[in-house]
Amino acid sequence: MQNEIVKIMKEYGDTVSVYAKNLSDNKVLVSHRCNKVFRSPTVMKIMVMVEALKEVEEGHNTLDDRIEIKETGISYLSLIRDLSISSYTLKDLIILMMTANDYTAINTLLNLFGLEKINNRIDKMGLLDTKVQRKMLDFYAIEKGKDNVTSIRDMSNILERIYNRSVFKYREISDFSVEMLKYQRVGRGVRNYIPEWESTYRSGEVGDFYHDIGIVFLENAHYILGVFVDDALDPLEALEIISRVKKAFLKNVSRKSDVS
């Protein structure tokens, strides 16, 4: 699989990272430019969720805490904009962020916990390439050179730890975090190419870059599969790259393959 996917990637230069790992036997199947740092549109919300649930685990917050949202804090890319509710529980906001990619929910959580605290958590967890430096739709920060960045190396690391239930000490919180990864309702990436299998995909796309990474639950083996694309000619090219990687992946695995 490694050689087949690398052959595909050579057509696109150094703009693509790919990672695939069998979590059932810990065998890395593909590792291509995994330490390349990419601008991260919304994939970084995984770390926002981790920080929120760590705050709950450590007793600083509860999932039932209510957070008031002012009208001035509501994004136009938000389900909250169409609702008549002015306050939400912390659990509600995590669900809206993770399942609907709701920008108001993301920014509210970023305001609640702060960029510094989230980045301190990232450092404590040993993630090398991930930084959260701006809120969603903060184009002024982007102009100032501040952006959210990550790599497949970091995102596969945190996904595997969530999958192994090693991020949180309480099983209930660990199970909740896995469920949140499963229920993304928006996105056009790898999940759409393998709809018959349960997966935990996190997608993000802005302009010429598209990121997709998650866990695929096959019948007898579980996998991490991720593709990060930068500087694509257009979104269709990015999706074509993802599609070709997916086809190579599916060619080499099946519901009954790679079981030790």
pLDDT score for 201: 47
59 Cβ neighbours under 8 A, 6+ residues apart: none
pLDDT on residue 71: 84
Class of domain 1-32+150-254: alpha beta
Secondary structure class of 100 (helix, strand, coil): helix
CA-wise closest residue to 20 among 231, 167, 232, 221: 221
Confidence class for position 243, pLDDT limits 50, 70, 90:
confident
Angle at 75 between CA 67 and CA 50, to 5 degrees: 55
Burial code of 231-251, b = ≥16 C-beta within 10 A, e = fewer? ebeebebbbebbebbbebbee
The CATH 3.40.710.10 portion of the chain extends over: 1-32+150-254, 44-146
- Predicted pLDDT at 255: 43
pLDDT digits (tens, 9 = 90+) for 139-173: 888 899 999 999 999 999 999 999 999 999 999 99
Q: Looking at domain 44-146, does it have CATH number 1.20.1250.20?
A: no
